[in-house]
Amino acid sequence: MAEVIWGLATSHVPSIGAAMDHRKTADPYWKPLFDGYAPAREWMAAHRPDVAVVVYNDHANAVGLDLVPTFAIGTADSYDVADEGWGRRPVPQVIGAPELSEHLVRELVDASFDIATFHKLDVDHGLTVPLSVYCPDPGDAWPCTVVPLLVNVIQYPQPTAARCLALGRALGRAIRSFPQDLKVAVFGTGGMSHQLAGARAGLINTPFDRMFLEAIETDPDRLAALSREDYIRAAGTEGIELIMWLIMRGALSDRITRIHDTYHVPASNTAVGAALFQDHGHPPMTEEGTEEGMV
């Protein structure tokens, strides 16, 4: 059976990818941010998954605003890197895991989540920057296959935080029901607090971000209780991307260890955060079909 081995929450700011692509990570502006990633990268390199489920949002590069699914999963064999207006990032093509993707679609639909499917999809910085945070030097190929899970955080009404946490819990069950022996990592991407336009452009709310970094481990239900308006008021119009971290957290069990976290302000007028959790899995099942320690 497949197992979830770790979860990574990380910002997907496009300039982070550009800094890596143009070898600016040691520049004074960027070095503190990339130094913050180093312990997580070292640990992840020693705990490589077979597949990464990357929860992200497209930025109108592959998905036009005429048709925006609330939740969608890519089911293709591979995914080209999108040209976002200044050429494709010099990173490898993303290789898919279609059997796992199709299993997840079926299981999540059966769990009453209406999942759209992409049989062809170009992936933008929302997905490739988190992969680069995980693996900064992939060479000719990323070290794992990928299941893209897209979330609408751009066009109102976005899914609620509670719905995202519930989807994550269903996703975790679906992964663990896959019959092949696979090690799976789940990425929740986007955020932290930032607003790109309007009267509050440049907003960064460090107290909220730090609360979120703590509660994503210890009290995700508190974060799920916040409304869309709560997220936008506290974290900015683009800060609502944080609801995608809840999908990652929901996919993990309650038996997790925080391996590392980091927080940096600013990167392109954005608060950047990352948090890495090892998943110790669910207790073994008893003959009666319940988990050990459960009544």
pLDDT tens sequence across 265-291: 999 999 999 999 999 986 544 344 444
Total count of domains within the chain: 1
Residue 262 lies in a domain: yes
For residues 275 and 272, give the distance between their C-alpha atoms in angstroms, rounded to a whole number. 11
Residue 43, domain extent: 3-279
Q: Does residue 295 lie within any of the structural domains?
A: no
Tokens of 249: 């957290």
Which member of 125, 260, 264, 280 is catalytic?
125
Sequence-distant (6+) residues with CB within 8 A of 164 are: 151, 224, 243, 244, 246, 247, 250
292 within some domain: no
Q: Annotated catalytic, 47?
A: no
Task: Supply the pLDDT for residue 178.
Answer: 98
Question: Is 22 known to be catalytic?
Answer: no
What distances in angstroms separate CA 209 from CA 2, 229, 248, one per listed residue? 32, 16, 17
The CATH number of whichever domain residue 220 belongs to comes to 3.40.830.10
| pLDDT of amino acid 281 | 86
Q: Please identify which of the residues 194, 264, 280, 282 carries the catalytic annotation.
A: 194
Strand partners, 3: 183
What is the model's pTM? Answer: 0.95
pLDDT at 283: 56
Paired tokens of 254: 């309650």
Report, as ranges of residue numbers, the positions in the chain whose pLDDT lies below 50: 284-295
> For 82-115, what is each residue's pLDDT tens digit?
999 989 999 999 999 999 999 999 999 999 999 9
What local confidence, expressed as pLDDT, does residue 94 receive? 98
